[in-house]
């Protein structure tokens, strides 16, 4: 299976920019690292077991019918393995995958070009698909539904519509915000699935697998200690195992034990819930400046000099899932657990709002 990527990085770094293609050494390095440890088969892919079982059946059925797989939409917070899963599906279908992201499909010719370059049975992966513009979406509808491109030629009175056939392909869309997808686009996906946060056991298994690929020595307790601070997210777990392995090598005897992991993660300011400085700053700000909330996300972003999208896509999903933050129609509120986690006392007025 060949992975043909247009070289976008889909991480946090790009969220603030209009142009999604920024190449810096660290982004390139990160991508190479992620690619080197990506599982290639369902057996290697840890977690998301219900989804894996459904997918295996759909893949077998598609192969038996000698038809491409239905279009798939994966949604959920970043770092849970949407791109990885698309790669595994391509491998399992024995086909190639072309990877792009919606912000890279700005002009009609971007999406037309990529659709016309597909071969029969190939997979097209579009990340951040909720950011697709209207024109690109409308080009995609007949392509997804009937494998046609509707092209117009000529001007006003002489305008002609041409139906150009496309090879049968499978679109895999990924998004952190399923709610922002238009109804007609969502309706064209045969399979829609939300990826779940990983359990500690699953993350420990991911960490041990990565450690063995990278030749990092780690104990079971060391893997669990890192897993506990990985916010349910394999991408974070894999980054942390590398950071901790540096400490193990320089400050200890090279082996990641629970003691080494906890020592290193404390120094890296990752607390026992996996919250980093930004997460804690967000909770602290709401408590200290807005009496625990509710307060709007734009106000929080401005006060923290952070991007709204980064807060919404990267910080909030885990804070909400961990029950430290609450979303209300009037803005974000820190929960009693959030107060407790930061060692802050909740005042009577705030407490009465929760009772």
- The residues annotated as belonging to the active site are 82-83, 127, 176, 235
Pick between residue 131 and residue 208 the one whose CB is nearest to ligand ADE. 208
User: Measured from the CB of residue 86, what is the shortest distance to ligand ADE in angstroms?
Assistant: 12
User: Measured from the CB of residue 46, what is the shortest distance to ligand ADE in angstroms?
Assistant: 4
Q: Does 240 bind ligand ADE (CB under 6 A)?
A: no
Contacting ligand ADE (CB under 6 A), which of 234, 274, 293, 338? 234
Two tokens at 269?
């300011």
User: Measured from the CB of residue 79, what is the shortest distance to ligand ADE in angstroms?
Assistant: 8
User: Measured from the CB of residue 280, what is the shortest distance to ligand ADE in angstroms?
Assistant: 26
Closest among 224, 188, 32, 2 to 95, alpha carbons compared: 2
SS3 217: strand
Q: Does 78 bind ligand ADE (CB under 6 A)?
A: no
Pick between residue 46 and residue 118 the one whose CB is nearest to ligand ADE. 46
Q: Does 77 bind ligand ADE (CB under 6 A)?
A: no
Q: What is the CA radius of gyration of the chain?
A: 23
Two tokens at 90?
């391509």
Contacting ligand ADE (CB under 6 A), which of 76, 77, 81, 338? 81
Contacting ligand ADE (CB under 6 A), which of 51, 172, 206, 236? 206
Q: Does 209 bind ligand ADE (CB under 6 A)?
A: yes
| Residue positions counted in the chain | 355
- Count interface residues toward ligand ADE (CB under 6 A): 12
Angle, helix 234-251 to helix 200-213, in steps of 10 degrees: 60
Contact residues for 9 (Cβ-Cβ < 8 A; gap 6+): 22, 27, 30, 31
Q: Does 325 bind ligand ADE (CB under 6 A)?
A: no
Residue with tokens 């038809």: 67
- Residue 250 CA to residue 248 CA, distance in Å, equals 6
Residue with tokens 């999406």: 111
User: Measured from the CB of residue 129, what is the shortest distance to ligand ADE in angstroms?
Assistant: 20
Q: Using an 8 Å Cβ cutoff, are 45 and 210 in contact?
A: no
Instruction: Give the DSSP letter string of 139-204.
Output: HHHHHHHHSEEEEEES-GGG-EEEEEE----EEEEEES-GGGS-HHHHHT-SEEEEPPPPPHHHHH
Pick between residue 245 and residue 326 the one whose CB is nearest to ligand ADE. 245
User: Measured from the CB of residue 224, what is the shortest distance to ligand ADE in angstroms?
Assistant: 16
User: Measured from the CB of residue 326, what is the shortest distance to ligand ADE in angstroms?
Assistant: 29
- Residue 257 CA to residue 45 CA, distance in Å, equals 24
Closest among 20, 215, 42 to 133, alpha carbons compared: 20
Q: Using an 8 Å Cβ cutoff, are 118 and 166 in contact?
A: yes
**What is the pattern of x (binds ligand ADE, CB under 6 A) and - over residues 2-41?**
-----------------------------------x-x--
| Burial of 263: CB neighbours in 10 Å, binned 0-12, 13-18, 19+ | middle
**What is the pattern of x (binds ligand ADE, CB under 6 A) and - over residues 154-183?**
------------------------------
Contacting ligand ADE (CB under 6 A), which of 10, 45, 125, 290? 45
Q: Does 232 bind ligand ADE (CB under 6 A)?
A: no
Pick between residue 20 and residue 234 the one whose CB is nearest to ligand ADE. 234
Q: Which residues bind ligand ADE (CB under 6 A)?
A: 37, 39, 44-47, 81, 84, 206, 209, 234, 238
């Amino acid at each position: 299976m060949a992975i043909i990527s247009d070289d976008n990085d889909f991480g946090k770094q790009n969220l603030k920019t209009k142009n999604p293609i920024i190449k810096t050494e660290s982004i390139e390095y990160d991508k190479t690292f992620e690619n080197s440890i990506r599982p290639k088969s369902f057996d290697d892919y840890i977690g998301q077991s219900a989804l894996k079982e459904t997918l295996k059946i759909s893949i077998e059925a598609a192969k038996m019918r000698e038809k491409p797989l239905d279009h798939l939409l994966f949604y959920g917070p970043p770092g849970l393995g949407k791109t990885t899963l698309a790669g595994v599906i391509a491998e399992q279908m024995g086909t190639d995958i072309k990877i792009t992201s919606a912000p890279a499909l700005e002009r009609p010719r971007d999406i037309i070009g990529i659709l016309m370059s597909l071969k029969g049975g190939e997979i097209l992966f579009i990340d951040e698909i909720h950011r697709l513009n209207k024109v690109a979406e409308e080009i995609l509808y007949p392509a997804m539904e009937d494998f046609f491109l509707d092209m117009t030629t000529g001007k006003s009175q002489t305008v002609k519509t041409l139906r150009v056939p496309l090879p049968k392909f499978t679109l895999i869309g990924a998004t952190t915000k399923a709610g922002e997808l238009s109804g007609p686009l969502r309706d064209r996906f045969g399979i829609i699935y939300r990826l779940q946060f990983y359990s500690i056991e699953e993350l420990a298994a991911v960490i041990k697998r990565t450690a063995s690929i990278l030749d990092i020595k780690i104990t079971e307790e060391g893997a669990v200690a890192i897993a506990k601070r990985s916010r349910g997210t394999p991408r974070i777990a894999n980054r942390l195992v590398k950071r901790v392995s540096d400490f193990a090598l320089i400050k200890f005897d090279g082996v990641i034990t629970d003691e080494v992991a906890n020592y290193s993660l404390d120094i890296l300011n990752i607390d026992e819930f996996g919250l980093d400085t930004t997460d804690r700053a967000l909770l602290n700000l709401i408590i200290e400046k807005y009496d625990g909330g509710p307060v709007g996300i734009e106000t929080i972003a401005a006060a923290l000099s952070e991007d709204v999208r980064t807060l919404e896509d990267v910080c909030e999903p885990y804070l909400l899932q961990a029950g430290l933050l609450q979303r209300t129609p009037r803005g974000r509120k820190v929960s009693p657990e959030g107060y407790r986690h930061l060692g802050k006392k909740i005042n009577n007025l705030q407490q009465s709002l929760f009772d």
